[in-house]
Structure 1
Amino acid sequence: MNILNIMWAGGAPFASIHKVHQQILSQASPSAEVKTWLLQGQGTECGVDVGEVREWQLSSARLKGRHFWRFARPLMRARFRQALVDSDARLLLLDGMGVARTLLPVLKSLPDIRVVVIFHGSARLNAGDQALFQALPASRLTLVAVSSTLADSLAHDLQMPVTPLRSAFDPEAFRAELFTREQARARLGLPQGDTPVLGAVGRLVSEKGFGYLLDAFAAALDTRPDLRLVIIGEGSKRTALEQRIEALGLHGKVLLTGHLNEAAQLYRAFDWVAIPSLEEGLGLVMQEAVMAGVPVLCSDLEVFSEQLGSAGWYAPVNDTQAWSEAIDRAFSASSRAINAEQYRMLAPDEAWSSFSQAARALFS
C-alpha cells in the first residue's frame, strides 16, 4: 500500500509534529511505500526521516486563499488532484486542520483514497469545517487526536467521532540515544557536579509560557541563588525573552540555546524539567523527560493530569508566585523518587504497546 504523509511545513517549530507522524508511520507494513509532501519548507528541516519528500513551496496566503490567491485556488486544487492520482496513494495522513482544509475538497472526487486527519493541538474551527469532514463518508475518513483530552474537545466541537491516539515513544530506543549527565552538561556548557539546573524545551512562542517562567525563576533565586535555567528551542518570542532576561538581571543564570537537533538527548543535564504551557495537545516534552529519568513540573492542564495523574507536580497556569514556590519545593524534594512515581504513572512501555496497536489499526 502506498502511503502519503502530508505535512503543513518543515522546520524546528514543527519538529514534534514530525516526530509523531514518524512514530505512526513506523507501524506501517514494511512493504508499504511512504512518501511525504511538505506544503511549506524543506525536507532537510524536518529533523526526522519522513521518507521521500516533495516540497511544494507554497505560502500560507496561497494555501489559505487569502487576497487574490482565492482566485488561484481552483488551479492549486487541480495540481493537487493530479499529483494525488500520480502518487497512486491509497492512504493519506494529513497534519491537522490546515492541511485538511487544503486537501479534503480535492479528495471528494478520488473515492479510492482513505484519509486520516491527525490533530496535534486545539484547532481554531470555523463554520465550514464540520461540513468539510461530513463531505467524505465515514468509511473513508478517520479523525485522530494525540490525547484523550484533545479528542473529547474536538468531538464536542465537531459533533463527530474523534479517535484518541496518545502519542508515545519506544522507551528502550529513546533511552539508548540519551547522553549521560556529564555529556549533556558539557554539550550545553553547564557546570558539572551538583549545580542545580531547571530545564525547559519547546518553541519560543507565547503559548509555551516561558515569559512567566522567567519571572518565577527570578523570584526562586531569592532562596536558591545557585539555580540555573536552560530553555532549548527557537521561535518568534526570542527577542522578547532576551529583553525579559536583561530586565530581570538574569544574565549568566538563564541560557537560551536556540534550536538543537539533539534536544531529546539532553534531558539528563537537568534536575527538573518545567513545562509552563498555557495549552497543549499532548506534551511530548513531558513524556521524554520522564523517560529520561527527570521529573517534570508542569501546568495544571487536563492533558498532563491525563498522563501523570496523582504523580504529577502541577502549578496553576500563568501564576508566577505559585510557580516560584513550586520550583523551590521541587529542588527540596527527592527528584529520583518523584521521577520513579511519574514513570510508573506514565507507564511508557504499556503506552508504547497501546500506541503501536492503535497506529497499526489505522493502516488496516
Structure 2
Amino acid sequence: MSIINVMWSGGSPYASVHKVHQQILSQAAPGACIKTWLLQDKATACLRDVGEVRAWQLSSKVLKGRGIRALSGFWLRRGFHKALLADDARVVLIDGVGVARVLLPVLRTLPHVRAVVMFHGATRLNDKEINLLRDFPPEQLTLCAVSQTLAASIEADTRLPVVTLRCALDPQAFQSQLLSREQAREQLGIALDQAQVFGAVGRLVAGKGFDCLIRAFARTLQQAPDRLLVIVGEGPARAELEARIQSLGLQGKVLLPGHLIGVASLYRAFDWVLIPSQEEGLGLIVQEAVIAHVPVLVSDLPVFEEQLGESGRYVPVDDEAAWVQAIEATAVVSARDVAARQYAAIAPEQAWQHFSHACSVVLSGR
C-alpha cells in the first residue's frame, strides 16, 4: 500500500509547500510506502525525506488542457490511472486545487483510493473547481488547510467541511539543527558585534511586502545607522529590490544573499525577524523564528493573529510609516521577553502533538 504525494512542481519557489507535505507525511503509519509525483519538472531540491520521486515533466499547457494539447488529456488521465494502480495507491495527498483539477477526475474511477487535498494559501475557487469538489464522493475526499483562517475561507466558498492541519514543527528536532549566534552570523558574513540585525525570509515576490519593508528600514537608519537587514530568499522581484536598495543608498545595509538551503538553521543570527507579508496561508516563518527564540514583527493578518494571539506585535499591511515605528520600537523593548511570550503563545510542544495526531487521522482515514 502506498501514499502518493502529488506536487505541482519543485525547486526553491515551492520549498515551503514541500516542507508542509514533508511534515504531514512524517506522521504516516510505520511501514507506509511513500512516493512523490512531481508533475511539472524534475527539480528535486525540496524533496528530501519524501520517498521515491517520479518526475512527469509535464508542461503547464498540458496540465491545464490548453489549445491542441487538450486532446492529450485522455492519454494523460490514462497514464495517471495506470500509475496509481501500479503503485498500489491507497491515499493521494494533493498539492492544492491546481493538482486537484488534474487528479480528481482520475481518482473518481478508483473508489478504493482516498484523496486528501491540501490548501496552502489564499485560493480563489471558480464555479468549475467548486463543483469538482462538491460532486466528489465525500467518503473518498478530505479537504485540509494549513490554518483555521484559510479553512474557514474555503468552507465558505465550497460549503464543504475542511480539516485544519496547522503545520507545526517538532521543536526538539528543529532546535537541534540551529546554529549558534556566532556560527549563523559567520555563515551569513555578519560581524558578531553588528548592532541590531533584522532578518526576513521568503520568496522575492510582491506579495511578501519586502519593498515596503526596505523603504521603512531605510528611514529607521536616521536614528540607528548601524542596523542591518538581511532578506533571505530568491524570486522574480530581485531586480526591483536591488534597484530600490541602490536608489536609497542601502548597499551594505540591506543584504540579499539569495536562496539558502540551510536557512532554517540561521535564525539565531537575527535579533528580530520581520514578516511584512500582504497575505499568507500560514506563514511557517513565524513558527521557525519563535521556536528559535527570536521575536517577530508581523503584518496584521488574521493567520498571524491565529498563531500569536496577544503576544504578537502587529503592523498594518503595506504601511511604511507603521513599519518605521514598529522597527524603531524594538530598540526600547526586551527582545528576550517578547520572544518568551510568543513562544508561550505558539506552544510548540502542544502544537506538534496536535498536528501529529491530526495528520495520522487524515492519512489513515479513521
- TM-score (normalizing by structure 1): 0.98
Equivalents in 2 of 1:161, 1:23: separation in Å? Answer: 22
Classify the secondary structure of the residue corresponding to 1:256: strand
Task: State the Cα distance separating 1:48 from its structure 2 match.
Answer: 2.8
Task: State the Cα distance separating 1:332 from its structure 2 match.
Answer: 2.2
1:176 paired residue number: 176
Equivalents in 1 of 2:195, 2:218: separation in Å? Answer: 17
1:165 paired residue number: 165
Classify the secondary structure of the residue corresponding to 1:274: strand
Equivalents in 2 of 1:66, 1:235: separation in Å? Answer: 26
Asked whether the 8 Å contact 2:168–2:355 carries over to 1, the reply is yes
- 1:213 pairs with 2:213: yes
1:131 paired residue number: 131
Equivalents in 2 of 1:319, 1:66: separation in Å? Answer: 40
2:237 paired residue number: 237
1:360 paired residue number: 360
Q: Deviations over 1:168-227 (max 9, x none)?
A: 000011000000000000000011125210100000111111111111111111111111
Asked whether the 8 Å contact 1:175–1:291 carries over to 2, the reply is yes
2:29 paired residue number: 29
Task: State the Cα distance separating 1:164 from its structure 2 match.
Answer: 0.7
1:188 paired residue number: 188
Moved more, 303-312 or 124-133: 124-133
2:335 paired residue number: 335
2:111 paired residue number: 111
2:262 paired residue number: 262
Equivalents in 1 of 2:235, 2:67: separation in Å? Answer: 27
2:151 paired residue number: 151
Equivalents in 2 of 1:298, 1:354: separation in Å? Answer: 24
Classify the secondary structure of the residue corresponding to 2:73: helix
Task: State the Cα distance separating 1:67 from its structure 2 match.
Answer: 2.6
Asked whether the 8 Å contact 1:47–1:261 carries over to 2, the reply is no
Equivalents in 1 of 2:58, 2:105: separation in Å? Answer: 18
Identity of aligned residues (%): 56
Equivalents in 2 of 1:231, 1:196: separation in Å? Answer: 14
Classify the secondary structure of the residue corresponding to 2:332: coil
Task: State the Cα distance separating 1:165 from its structure 2 match.
Answer: 0.9
Asked whether the 8 Å contact 2:134–2:158 carries over to 1, the reply is no
| Alignment gaps of 5+ in structure 2 | none
Task: State the Cα distance separating 1:252 from its structure 2 match.
Answer: 0.8
**Amino acid across the alignment from 2:110:** L
Equivalents in 2 of 1:46, 1:26: separation in Å? Answer: 15
- 1:5 pairs with 2:5: yes
Equivalents in 2 of 1:86, 1:358: separation in Å? Answer: 29
1:41 paired residue number: 41
* TM-aligned CA distance change 1:47 to 1:226, over 3 Å: farther
Report matched runs for 1:283-298 at 5 Å: 283-298=283-298
Asked whether the 8 Å contact 1:202–1:234 carries over to 2, the reply is yes
Asked whether the 8 Å contact 2:308–2:346 carries over to 1, the reply is yes
Task: Count matched residues.
Answer: 364
Equivalents in 1 of 2:315, 2:131: separation in Å? Answer: 39
Q: Deviations over 1:201-260 (max 9, x none)?
A: 000111111111111111111111111000000111111111111111111101101100
Classify the secondary structure of the residue corresponding to 1:29: coil
Task: State the Cα distance separating 1:322 from its structure 2 match.
Answer: 0.4
1:61 paired residue number: 61
- 1:249 pairs with 2:228: no
Q: Deviations over 1:14-45 (max 9, x none)?
A: 11111111111111112100000001232532
2:318 paired residue number: 318
Asked whether the 8 Å contact 1:19–1:48 carries over to 2, the reply is no
Moved more, 33-42 or 288-297: 33-42
Task: State the Cα distance separating 1:47 from its structure 2 match.
Answer: 5.1
**Amino acid across the alignment from 2:256:** L
| Alignment gaps of 5+ in structure 1 | none
**Amino acid across the alignment from 1:236:** P
Task: State the Cα distance separating 1:159 from its structure 2 match.
Answer: 1.2
Equivalents in 1 of 2:48, 2:41: separation in Å? Answer: 14
Q: Deviations over 1:82-129 (max 9, x none)?
A: 111211100000011111011111111111100100001011211111
**Amino acid across the alignment from 1:260:** L
2:20 paired residue number: 20
Classify the secondary structure of the residue corresponding to 1:144: strand
Classify the secondary structure of the residue corresponding to 1:90: strand
2:280 paired residue number: 280
Equivalents in 2 of 1:91, 1:317: separation in Å? Answer: 39
Equivalents in 1 of 2:116, 2:47: separation in Å? Answer: 23
Coordinate RMSD, CA, aligned: 1.0
Q: Deviations over 1:132-177 (max 9, x none)?
A: 1123211110000000000001100111111111100000110000
Asked whether the 8 Å contact 1:108–1:135 carries over to 2, the reply is no
**Amino acid across the alignment from 1:183:** Q
Equivalents in 1 of 2:40, 2:261: separation in Å? Answer: 20
**Amino acid across the alignment from 2:160:** M
Asked whether the 8 Å contact 2:12–2:259 carries over to 1, the reply is yes
Equivalents in 1 of 2:54, 2:43: separation in Å? Answer: 8
Task: State the Cα distance separating 1:331 from its structure 2 match.
Answer: 2.7
- TM-score (normalizing by structure 2): 0.98
Classify the secondary structure of the residue corresponding to 1:94: strand
